[in-house]
Structure 1
């Protein structure tokens, strides 16, 4: 069940979806990184301006390694822990970081599947960070590609479970609106009209300058699942 519909009611958890999203993104991102010159890894990202491409990748690979090895110390995903993980890889070559990332994207899915849903958001976060990297490297369709439908399905369930504002999204390439958030019977659903990558940017707190979209019934900041 890797293409769960999100046009209607509650989104059922597909335990295999996070792993499929990671492997799909692996197949797109890793070849790009293998062909990237050293100066590309030193570019700062817009979404995480304190981090370079290399540092975003080091963060991503470290998180996946923790999942694969089941190492969850206290505050394991805190800002301080993230910086420690990056510092621990400071002496690695760029390609060693990519090696670890590739292994993690290959092996973490089975561990996430068995965790009952608590780790599913990691796969979405890894996919969003891959978009951050593609954007920094000047690649078109930074938050699009083959993983986008999987990411939208996962995003719909995560926003529902977080009890976020209900939203009907009329996407440019879909006939029926997609539903996000959790209806509470008190607030009418907000509406989004635009493309799917821009909706992903809104939900992940990424810059949307220059994007054409309409948003009614909710402020953009209310959608950010990472706020």
Structure 2
């Protein structure tokens, strides 16, 4: 398997790009929109955003104690922000998207790089709930796909050749499994994100051979 050379600035570029695209949308959305459900079970739009802001604040402030980012830790962070004014939740998120990237880049192990991908996917969750077209294919899709390749290899999903009609370059994801030929997938970039992130596929069209959808999921 060929190694992917780490670009330490990639997560920061994705976070800043997403900040500039998402925050104006959130600032002008009516307050009732933040109560809408999302693809994340039991979490509203507001709670997804609270989780995103809390995660980035932890990174920015170096609060990465054992157990951080576990379901229990995430739930606790969201509950802590339930009493905050909505504006405070949005302010924290914007600060985190502005500041966390530099901290992620400074870590030579790259262990936090995929947090940026998770934040971008959660932004897609929010856009989908708000009815924004192209929820998982907006600004930053190129950076998101690059991080998805890394995520698929770290999670050891099956080797897969992806042909994306809306992108010029095919992608090679996952790792080789002895005795198993690579799977093949034809789909749009947004459908690729949905498949690997285990998000609703709605009316997405794709052709997958040699693997099952559940084998591609990068979030346990």
- TM class, shorter-chain normalised? over 0.9
Give the aligned partner of residue 3 of structure 1. none
1:204 aligns with 2:204: no
Name which of 86, 92, 99 aligns with 1:107.
99
- TM-superposed CA distance for 1:9, in Å, is 4.4
d(CA) in 2 for partners of 1:209 and 1:93? Answer: 33
Runs of 4+ in 1 over 6 A off after TM superposition: none
Superposed CA deviations along residues 64-89 of structure 1, whole A, max 9, x for unmatched, are 00000000122111111111111111
d(CA) in 2 for partners of 1:55 and 1:73? Answer: 22
1:20 aligns with 2:6: no
- TM-superposed CA distance for 1:183, in Å, is 2.2
Give the aligned partner of residue 126 of structure 1. 119
1:172 aligns with 2:165: yes
1:138 aligns with 2:131: yes
Deviates more, 1:180-189 or 1:86-95: 180-189
d(CA) in 1 for partners of 2:169 and 2:104? Answer: 30
Superposed CA deviations along residues 42-78 of structure 1, whole A, max 9, x for unmatched, are 0010x21300000000000000000000001221111
Name which of 33, 42, 45 aligns with 1:50.
42
- TM-superposed CA distance for 1:210, in Å, is 1.3
- Normalised TM-score (structure 1): 0.93
Superposed CA deviations along residues 116-168 of structure 1, whole A, max 9, x for unmatched, are 21001100000000000000000000001121110000111221233221000
Structural RMSD (CA): 1.3
- TM-superposed CA distance for 1:10, in Å, is 3.1
Structure 1, unpaired ranges of 5+: 1-7
- TM-superposed CA distance for 1:173, in Å, is 1.8
Name which of 185, 188, 196 aligns with 2:181.
188
Give the aligned partner of residue 4 of structure 1. none
**Aligned runs of 1:27-42 on 2, under 5 Å?**
27-42=20-35
Aligned residues: 219
Name which of 198, 216, 220 aligns with 1:223.
216
Give the aligned partner of residue 80 of structure 1. 72
d(CA) in 1 for partners of 2:100 and 2:197? Answer: 22
Q: What is the SS of the residue equivalent to 2:208?
A: strand
1:152 aligns with 2:182: no
1:61 aligns with 2:50: no
Structure 2, unpaired ranges of 5+: none
Q: What is the SS of the residue equivalent to 1:155?
A: helix
